[in-house]
Structure 1
Amino acid sequence: MKLLSNKIRLQDTVKTHVMRLKVIFVLIIILGVFISCKKETSVEKPILKDETEPTKEVVVKSVLTAKEQASMSSEEIINRLQEGNENFVNNNLTQRDHSEQRRIAAIGQYPKAIVLSCVDSRVPVEDVFDLGIGDIFVARVAGNIENKEIIGSMEFATVVAGSKVVIVLGHTACGAVKHAIDNTDAASLGLDALQDLLNEIRPVVKSKEGVIANSKDESFTNHIIHQNVKKTIADIREKSPKMKEMEQNDILKIVGAVYNMKTGEVEFL
């Protein structure tokens, strides 16, 4: 009996050891899996973070300086304006801190160009070229024509303030040009000043062979819009000998452009 009792105790002991070994084995497996997962997680986290974390947009706080203005050529300025227009067309305008720009620009201004635009509210000049505070001068008058005051403003911008490009910016669907084409009699309505303005545009309104001047003809109207821009450029050169001289000496460029109301694109002539 004693032998049997010892045998039973031995078997129990063996079973107990076997169970303990099984438990230890299971714990080792669980621990191994936990450590493996932890390592994988620590490796993957930076990758996931880089892939999912949004890139912070650069916000422009500075304004154009005298040194930057002096270093740019007329061609470079025009190229930058064209690139800015691409941003506008693609709805990718530069983010700017206008409060900071306003504070810095109060000290002085060094714009790279002056743009003569129509007064049309649908042509936001700075946005059209993706520009901010201190980047350009903007003069506006219906039909983007020149007059004594506009010429004076351009001479200030170029001769005095150092701008290297003058842009005459027309646009499609221009109301002033349309009224000039249709020979609207503004004076009969008591609008003598408006009549004078339309009279400035009318010299370029010449019917093509077989084409009657009519603002409803979009192709014809766009042709006159382009011709009006070219006339304004010629008038600027005639009425400002100093700017004409600067252009001849490659210090200044006087160029024309037309803004497409439908697409937002600017066509440089």
Structure 2
Amino acid sequence: MISATEALNRLIEGNRHFVSEAESSTLTDQTRRTALLAGQEPFAIILGCSDSRVPAEIVFDQGLGDLFVIRVAGNIVAPSQVGSVEFAAERFGTPLVIVLGHSKCGAVQATIEELERPQESRSTNLLSIVNRIRPSVEPLLETKAADSHDTLMHHAVRANIRASANHLRHGSQILENLIQQGKLLVVGAEYSIETGVVDFFDGIPS
């Protein structure tokens, strides 16, 4: 298995390839499918948003068996997501976790709307997502960021990414042990729907 730094560089290069609109060279054919019958060794775990505009394999230009992808609205961290990350990190020795949020995130937008104008009609299921995003977004309403919706959204998306990444770093004894042993790196990143560029901004090794 490659190192976390090598895995991160592979994702960075893959995103550059995607943004350049060059023809993808990822392996998705019968030969690759056959090779994976014996098992998988994904080099990165992606905890991303379910938004249809942010398919991880495509934006990182990766093929079958390369990424272990977990998707949920708002890239939130609940017990099932933590368990999924633990599973991949332990079972496959995957050294890198990327929490991938994105610009114009609908779940973050819904959270801001709920904070500004609570709606009794929201389902309890949707509120379970909103309430996980709320703690990272609510303090921003008391800052100058709240003066502009676009600025508020930008800061809220990033605050939510940081919160999810920190939850993975400190909300699981298994993951925390792997991090302390240098076997796992958790990085927060934001995908720009406008440009296609992924900005890795949280937890990057010095």
TM-score (norm 2): 0.90
* Distance in 2 of aligned mates of 1:108 and 1:213: 51
Q: Is the 8 A contact 1:116 1:167 kept in 2?
A: yes
Q: Deviations over 1:72-120 (max 9, x none)?
A: 1110110010000000000122153422211221221011111000000
**Residues 213, 161 of structure 1: alpha-carbon distance in 2 compared, 3 angstrom cutoff:** farther
- Which structure has more relative contact order (CA 8 Å, sep 6+)? It is 2
Q: 1:77 aligned to 2:3?
A: no
**Residues 114, 102 of structure 1: alpha-carbon distance in 2 compared, 3 angstrom cutoff:** same
State the percentage of identical aligned residues: 38
Q: Deviations over 1:41-91 (max 9, x none)?
A: xxxxxxxxxxxxxxxxxxxxxxxxxxxx2xx11101100100000000001
The equivalences for 1:111-130 within 5 A come to 111-130=42-61
**Alignment partner for residue 83 of structure 2, among 152, 166, 186?**
152
Counterpart residue number, 1:212: 146
TM-score (norm 1): 0.69
Q: Is the 8 A contact 1:185 1:195 kept in 2?
A: no
* Distance in 1 of aligned mates of 2:49 and 2:183: 26
**Alignment partner for residue 90 of structure 1, among 16, 20, 44?**
20
Q: Is the 8 A contact 1:118 1:141 kept in 2?
A: yes
SS at structure 2 position matched to 1:262: coil
Number of equivalenced pairs: 196
Larger radius of gyration: 1
Q: Which runs of 5+ in 1 are unaligned?
A: 1-68
Q: Which runs of 5+ in 2 are unaligned?
A: 202-206
**Alignment partner for residue 71 of structure 2, among 137, 140, 153?**
140
Deviation, structure 1 residue 213: 6.9
**Alignment partner for residue 190 of structure 2, among 258, 262, 268?**
258
| C-alpha RMSD of matched pairs (Å) | 1.6
Q: Deviations over 1:177-217 (max 9, x none)?
A: 0110121646x225111111101001112224345377xx1
Q: 1:178 aligned to 2:109?
A: yes
